[in-house]
């Protein structure tokens, strides 16, 4: 019985991804592009060379962070659309701590940047949790509103008070001691990918093996039953929103330490919302998110090659992302489509 | 000056009111309206496409309504037929609307920022222009303002004074009981989300081809989420949605007014979102949606 469920947990997301790629291929076909060539270019670009694979991993790193952040909140049935904003907060605070010379070894400086980004993102998440617990505000809307507020406010900060010299709205360059070392020279791939994998494993252990992890799952499963069992639902909501925001904030800090080296206004390529798709495709499993983050990372990276060689817009990856969210959440629909295939086989 | 301010409140409220009114219908039928953003954006897009290919803003408006309806119906199929989590469906559609309109924009107009200029709605209430004060406020308003107010009144009448409205509210409160007395629950839910899509689609069309004459990437800019807050604040009553929409429109107008005073634009742009947040926190604490939202008749 359990095995059968596991299989089902795998089939729905895989088929959903397949369906999303198929629908996108159809859109390409209808708009006069050849989808087979397009997918060939994507996969060759993203996986065909060492640079390609490295760049796919660079793209995957923030997506795995945001996927984990979204998943942790969702375990307690909270929809944290604020991952995008929390990522910005973590990136800004991390980038600022990275510009200060503390006269400490680089390992300590790196840790300081990471921890400050985490705490900043965590507090941004905690604020949403507090609004939910104290005022009963729907977190979907409060997170969207805070996203707009945070993105505008950080953009204000690096356009006026914190602006570095030059035409772009960005903060001062971080010190070399605050940057994550590269894994391979001439690539943007840094320790970030290793950090995010470690975080994913830690979260897996946290959810499966600790009391708090169990309480989060219990609240997610049935709020009233959890309350009756003596779990303080309010505390659980606050904690899971803090944790979710902290992971997103760490993702932002790692991004500035690896790729941007400073805070740039509007730097996120919708990583926060991409995380929703990553978590969906992984069926909210922490280790699965590493894989699904890589899948979307390679699609995003491959789409860049696509843009160089053809006129197909990169936005079609965002369409795939959105369709995955929808299809994974509709297992009844997937089953129905699969049944049609089955019946055809039986008739034959 | 004051008349100019009131005039911009009215014109900026229109899409908010229309979308919130749509949300009222959807929630009253028991379907959460978090997909409003996608219906607004998609309506804005299809309206522009309609106007672009036919050269007629009138057809554009209908294309906008139709575009919103398609998304509303899709939300309905996901939530009613496939019992999908309504929040996820709404969010998925919002993501899909941003992604697909940006993609289609590049395919149609070869530009990812904005469309070309298209024919926009030119029908204004200019016959009022000779009346003092009233003329200053209303003469430049679109005919859609009148339609919006009329739709709110009609919407209130339909929801609270007709058998159809009674049954829709019954379905929204308790789908199981409604089903057991022989009401076709699915029918009312589908009608609710389709009306929601049509109204938000009209709101979207207003944004793209009435207040402007083109489609701009992600031009709904969170108004769909603000409309959800307006619908809650209105206690799911069309008349209150009209009033609450005007209140939010006032803050959007304030935003434009302040831009003339050299305040950094990033700070000004935060105003409507901060207000929405405050309203959600302070204003709507004791408002509960109909009891059957998210429930199915055969649970």
Distances (CA, A) of A14 to A8, A252, A273, A328, B79: 10, 29, 20, 9, 22
Interface residue A29 vs chain B (CB under 8 A): no
Tokens 């992984």 appear where? A282
Can you give the CATH number for the domain in which B164 is found?
A: 1.10.3470.10
- Strand-pairing partners, residue B142, are B124
| Section A325-344 average pLDDT | 86
Residues of A in contact with B225 (CB under 8 A): 140-141, 144-145
For B103, residues 6+ apart whose C-beta sits below 8 A from its C-beta are A27, A313, A315, A316, A318, A319
| Higher local confidence (pLDDT), B135 or A81 | A81
pLDDT per residue over A145-194, tens digit each? Answer: 999 999 999 999 999 999 999 889 999 999 999 999 999 988 889 999 99
Q: Which domain holds residue B266?
A: 2-122+132-283
How far away is chain B from the Cα of A181, in angstroms, using its nearest Cα?
34
List beta partners, residue A264.
Answer: A170
| B177 reaches A (C-beta below 8 A) | no
- Give the span between the Cα atoms of B277 and A238, in whole angstroms: 18
**Interface with A, mutate which of B86, B225, B299 (most A CBs under 10 A):** B225
Distance of CA A320 to the CA centre of its chain: 15
The length of chain A is 348
B127 within some domain? no
In degrees, rounded to 5, the angle at the alpha carbon of residue A142 between the alpha carbons of residues A213 and A331 is: 60
**Dihedral sign, CA of A41, A43, A49, A54?**
positive
How many folded domains does chain A comprise? 1
Residue among A131, A138, A332 whose CB faces B83 most closely: A332
Give the per-residue pLDDT at A1: 37
Rounded CA gap, B26 and B15, in Å? 17
Please write the tens of the pLDDT for every residue from A204-246: 999 999 999 999 999 999 889 999 999 999 999 999 999 999 9
CATH number at residue A137: 1.10.3470
Whether A1 is covered by a domain: the verdict is no
Q: How confident is the model at residue B247 (pLDDT cuts 50, 70, 90)?
A: very high
Q: Is B103 exposed, middle or buried (0-12, 13-18, 19+ CB in 10 A)?
A: buried
Backbone φ/ψ region at B289: left (φ over 0), alpha (ψ -120 to 50), beta: beta
Residue B272 lies in a domain: yes
Nearest to A329 among B85, B270, B282 (CB): B85
Report how far residue A195's alpha carbon sits from residue B20's, in angstroms, rounded to the nearest whole number: 44
In this structure, is residue A183 part of a structural domain? yes
Taking an 8 Å cut-off on Cβ atoms, the answer to whether B103 and A313 are in contact is: yes
B91 at A interface, C-beta within 8 A: yes
Does some domain include residue B299? no
Nearest CA to A22 out of A327, A333, A339 is that of: A327
On whether the CB atoms of residues A113 and A94 are closer than 8 A, the answer is yes
pLDDT of residue A6: 66
Cite the DSSP H helix spans in A162-232: 192-209, 211-221, 223-228
- Determine the average pLDDT of the residues in B260-270: 89
Closest chain A residue to the Cα of B75, Cα to Cα: A326
Q: What is the pLDDT of residue B299?
A: 67
Is the pLDDT score of B80 beyond 90? yes
Q: Is residue A192 part of a domain?
A: yes
Rounded distance between C-alpha atoms, residue A263 and residue A157, angstroms = 10
> Is A210 an interface residue toward B (CB < 8 Å)?
no
In sequence order, the β-bridge partners of residue B124 are B142
Query: In chain A, positions 312-341, which contact chain B (CB-CB < 8 Å)?
Result: 313, 315-316, 318-319, 321-323, 325-326, 329-330, 332-333
Taking the Cβ of residue B107 and every Cβ of chain A, the question of whether any pair is shorter than 8 Å is answered with yes
How many domains does chain B contain in total?
1
Cα distance between residue B31 and residue A243, in whole Å: 30
Least confident span in A81-95, A242-256, A298-312, B21-35: A298-312
Model pLDDT for residues B180-235, shown as the tens digit of each residue: 999 999 999 999 999 999 999 999 999 999 989 999 999 999 999 999 999 999 99
Q: What is d(CA A114, CA A234) in angstroms, rounded to the nearest whole number?
A: 28
With 70 as the cut, is the pLDDT of residue A9 above it?
Answer: yes
* B229 near A CB under 8 A: yes
The answer as to whether B298 is a domain residue is no
Phi, psi angle pair for A222, to nearest 5°: -160, 105
Write the DSSP string, B26-67: HHHTT---TTHHHHHHHHHHHHHHHHHHHS-HHHHHHHHHHH
B100 interaction partners in chain A (CB closer than 8 Å): 27, 319, 322
Q: Which residues contact B31 (CB under 8 A, 6 or more apart)?
A: B75, B76, B79, B80, B86, B189, B192, B193, B196, B293
Burial of B133 (0-12, 13-18, 19+ CB in 10 A): exposed
The interface pTM score, or ipTM, of the predicted complex is: 0.92
Residue B59 pLDDT > 80: yes
pLDDT tens-digit map of A140-151 = 999 999 999 999
pLDDT of residue A4: 54
Q: Has residue B118 got a pLDDT over 70?
A: yes
Contact B222 A131 (CB under 8 A): no
pLDDT > 70: percent of chain A: 97
* 3-state secondary structure string across B137-190: HHCCCEHHHHHHHHHHHHHHHHHHHCHHHHHHHHHHHCHHHHHHCCCCHHHHHH
Q: Is A117 within a domain?
A: yes
* Averaged confidence pLDDT in chain A: 92
Pick among A124, A141, A156, A223 to test the B interface (most B CBs inside 10 A): A141
CB contact, 8 Å: A81 with chain B?
yes
Strand partners, A190: A182
Q: How far apart are CA B45 and CA B66, in angstroms?
A: 11
Q: What is the DSSP string of A325-339?
A: HHHHT-HHHHHHHHH
pLDDT of residue A2: 45
Average pLDDT over residues B59-88: 96
Taking only Cα atoms into account, the Rg of chain B, rounded to an integer number of angstroms, comes to 19
Within a domain: residue A345? no
End-to-end CA distance of chain B: 57
Quick one: tokens of B37? 């953003």
**Are B270 and A148 a contacting pair at CB < 8 A?**
yes
How does the average pLDDT of chain B come out, rounded?
A: 93
CB contact under 8 A, B269 and A152: yes
What gap in Å lies between CA B125 and CA A168, rounded to an integer? 44
Token duo for residue B101: 């309109």
* Domain assignment of residue B28, yes or no: yes
Q: Do B222 and A145 touch (CB under 8 A)?
A: yes
Structural domain boundaries enclosing A321: 8-336
pLDDT greater than 80 at residue A8 = no
pTM: 0.94
């Amino acid at each position: 019985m359990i095995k059968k469920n596991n299989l089902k947990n795998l089939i729905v997301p895989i088929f959903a991804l397949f369906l999303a790629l198929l629908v996108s291929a159809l859109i390409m076909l209808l708009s006069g592009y050849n989808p087979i060539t397009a997918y060939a270019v994507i996969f060759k670009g993203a996986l065909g060379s060492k640079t390609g694979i490295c760049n796919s991993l660079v793209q995957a790193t923030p997506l795995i962070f945001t996927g984990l952040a979204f998943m942790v909140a969702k375990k307690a049935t909270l929809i944290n659309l604020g991952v995008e904003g929390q990522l910005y907060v973590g990136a800004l605070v991390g980038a600022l701590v990275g510009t200060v010379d503390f006269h400490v070894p680089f390992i300590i400086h790196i840790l300081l940047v990471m921890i400050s980004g985490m705490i900043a993102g965590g507090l941004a998440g905690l604020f949403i949790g507090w609004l939910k617990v104290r005022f009963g505000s729907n977190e979907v809307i409060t997170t969207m509103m805070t996203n707009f507020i945070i993105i505008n406010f950080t953009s204000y900060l690096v356009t006026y008070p914190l602006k570095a010299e030059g035409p772009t709205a960005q903060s001062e360059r971080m010190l070399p001691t605050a940057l994550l070392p590269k894994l391979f020279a001439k690539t943007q791939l840094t320790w970030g990918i290793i950090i995010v994998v470690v975080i994913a494993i830690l979260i897996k252990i946290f959810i499966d093996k600790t009391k708090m992890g169990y309480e989060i799952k219990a609240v997610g499963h049935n709020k009233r039953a959890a309350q009756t069992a003596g779990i303080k639902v309010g505390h659980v909501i606050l904690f899971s929103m803090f944790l979710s925001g902290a992971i997103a904030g760490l993702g932002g800090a790692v991004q500035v330490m690896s790729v941007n080296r400073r805070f740039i206004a509007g730097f996120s390529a919708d990583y926060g919302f991409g995380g929703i798709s990553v978590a969906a495709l992984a069926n909210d499993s922490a280790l699965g998110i590493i894989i699904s983050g890589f899948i979307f990372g390679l699609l995003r990276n491959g789409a860049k090659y696509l843009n160089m060689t053809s006129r197909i817009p990169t936005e079609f990856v965002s369409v795939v992302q959105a369709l995955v969210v929808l299809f994974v959440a509709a297992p009844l629909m997937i089953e129905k489509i699969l049944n049609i295939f089955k019946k055809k086989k039986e008739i034959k | 000056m004051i008349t100019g301010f009131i005039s911009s409140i009215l014109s900026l409220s229109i899409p908010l009111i229309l979308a919130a009114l749509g949300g009222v219908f959807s929630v009253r039928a028991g379907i959460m309206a978090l997909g409003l953003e996608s219906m607004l954006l998609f309506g804005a897009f299809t309206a522009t496409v309609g106007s672009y290919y036919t050269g007629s803003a009138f057809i554009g408006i209908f294309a906008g309504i139709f575009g919103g309806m398609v998304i509303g119906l899709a939300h309905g199929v996901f939530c009613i037929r496939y019992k999908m989590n309504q929040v996820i469906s709404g969010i998925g559609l919002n993501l899909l609307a941003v992604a697909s309109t940006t993609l289609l924009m590049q395919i149609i107009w070869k530009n990812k920022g904005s469309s070309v200029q298209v024919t926009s709605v030119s029908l204004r209430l200019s016959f009022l222009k000779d009346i003092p004060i009233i003329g200053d406020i209303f003469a430049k308003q679109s005919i859609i303002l009148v339609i919006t107010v009329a739709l709110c009144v009609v919407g209130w009448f339909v929801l609270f004074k007709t058998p159809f409205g009674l049954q829709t509210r019954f379905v929204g409160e308790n789908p199981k009981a409604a089903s057991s007395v022989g009401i076709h629950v699915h029918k009312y839910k589908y009608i609710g989300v389709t009306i929601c899509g049509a109204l938000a689609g009209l709101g979207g069309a207003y944004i793209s081809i009435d207040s402007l004459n083109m489609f701009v990437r992600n031009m709904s800019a969170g108004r769909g989420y603000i409309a959800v807050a307006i619908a809650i604040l209105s206690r799911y009553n069309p008349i209150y949605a009209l009033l609450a929409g005007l209140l939010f429109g006032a803050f959007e107008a304030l935003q434009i007014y302040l831009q003339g005073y050299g305040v950094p634009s990033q700070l000004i742009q935060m105003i409507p979102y901060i207000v929405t947040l405050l309203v959600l926190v302070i204003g709507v604490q004791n408002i509960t949606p109909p009891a059957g939202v998210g429930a199915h008749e055969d649970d």
